Amino acid sequence: MLQNLRTSTWFLSGALLGLSLAVGHSVYALKDEDKQIPFEDLQAFTEVFSKVKSDYVETVDDKKLIEDAIRGMLNGLDPHSAFLNTSEFSDLKIGTTGQFGGLGIEVGMENGFVKVISPIDDTPASRAGIQASDLIIKLDDKSVKGMTLNEAVKIMRGKPNTDIDLTIVREGEPKPLVIKITREIIRVKSVKNRMLEPGYGYVRITNFQSRTTTDLLKAISDLQKETRLKGMVLDLRNNPGGVLNGAVGVSDAFIDDGLIVYTEGRLDDSSHRYLATPGDSLNGAPLVVLINGGSASASEIVAGAMQDHKRGIVLGTKSFGKGSVQTIQELRNGSAVKLTTARYFTPNGRSIQAKGIEPDIKLSTLRISEKDEKSRETYSESDLEGRLSNPNGETDGADGAAKSDSEELAQSDFQLYEALNLLKGLTILTEINNG
């Protein structure tokens, strides 16, 4: 986990669920040592409350004071526990359905500024060029220094078709960038697919929703209708996570049996073991999983399960490192508490909390320029005047087209280009081993 990162759950506007959602009025069985109420400390709280009411320079609403006190109590626990008022709780529930209004970025708080965890695919923020790790320092003409995350989120929310200027600091840029973004209704399609080359499929999961597993299986089925899949790339880059069942279901789609993930907490109902069911949607075909620093939570569960089961090769850069489970508990007045109740562990017992998933093959994002490509141009026999013809027929045109497609992928997404090459190598090795 990044130092000083304060909650990374907000979509704009909307919220990303923690790994577990329990809505309802909850009553926990407390241990004897937990039943003792700290009366002296509570008395100090009431004294401070009374002083603020009587002596503060302006009149303050009782509800606001109590709500702020609750927020402070939860924010002091860890970066992901939080109090949600009725409006925020409603936004959070809307966020998991895959449709909400706003900019389309997941954000957290770091050193008093808003930090971008990851932009969501096909949203205003993504199209405007917002990147993971961007630091937002101004919203229109207002500095975010001194704001709470909730206050910043409220400013970034707004009616569709209205604009907001984000001033951001980005590593490698000599001065702050000002990016104008037009708000719109965000409709997140969590699963996308296409064929990279004949026999090699590509599936991207942007976040984990309740329907993600079903959509993934359909995407794979659609690819298999085109041709027999020799292998597949599963892209989890900049996927901030989502519901736990989505991560379990996606992992189960590629694992025949065994443990997928388990959770441990203080309470009995916080400890669970999630097991795979028989069946591999790819029938054992090679799998490459792409991750980066924007891959968090549920994404890390999938990547960790693929590593521990040796079901797929993880390629990219180290993931975010969120290894805790949040449970949402609705209160009687319609507000809610989002509380960290457990840690999760990969099948081999690894905790990725504040550590992340280390890829099997580390590969940073690179961009190959046209100048670089031209400098590497070579000549072959087919370029020579008066060459002998190929007795099996000319193939220059087909080869040239394939090379062009490959070069285009290398320039637009070098990590994906390398993942495809790795997939081809795995396929060849599998065919050799199978005789």
| Cα–Cα distance for residue pair 299/320, rounded to 1 Å | 10
| Cα–Cα distance for residue pair 137/118, rounded to 1 Å | 16
Q: Burial-class residue 277 by CB neighbours within 10 Å (0-12, 13-18, 19+).
A: exposed
3-state SS assignment for residue 166: strand
Q: What count of other Cβ atoms lies within 10 Å of the Cβ of residue 413?
A: 18
Query: Of 295, 322, 338, 413, which is the active-site residue?
Result: 322
Place of tokens 């069942």: 245
Say which residues have a Cβ less than 8 Å from residue 391's Cβ, sequence separation at least 6: none
Q: What is the DSSP string of 96-125?
A: TTTEEEE--EEEEEETTEEEEEEEPTTSHH
Query: Of 297, 299, 319, 324, which is the active-site residue?
Result: 297
Closest C-alpha among 276, 295, 298, 280 to residue 209: 298
Closest C-alpha among 94, 115, 97, 89 to residue 330: 89
Which helix (H) or strand (E) is 307 found in, with range? helix 298-308
Q: What count of other Cβ atoms lies within 10 Å of the Cβ of residue 122?
A: 14
For the question of residue 54 being annotated catalytic, the response is no
For the question of residue 180 being annotated catalytic, the response is no
Say which residues have a Cβ less than 8 Å from residue 406's Cβ, sequence separation at least 6: 417
3-state SS assignment for residue 187: strand
For the question of residue 159 being annotated catalytic, the response is no
Query: Of 308, 319, 338, 413, which is the active-site residue?
Result: 308
Q: What is the DSSP letter of 76?
A: T
3-state SS assignment for residue 11: strand
Q: Which residues of 11-50 are buried (b: 16+ CB within 10 A; e: fewer)?
A: bbbbbbbbbbbeeeeeeeeeeeeeeeeeeeeeeeeeeeee
Q: Burial-class residue 434 by CB neighbours within 10 Å (0-12, 13-18, 19+).
A: exposed
Which sequence positions are flagged as catalytic?
297, 308, 322
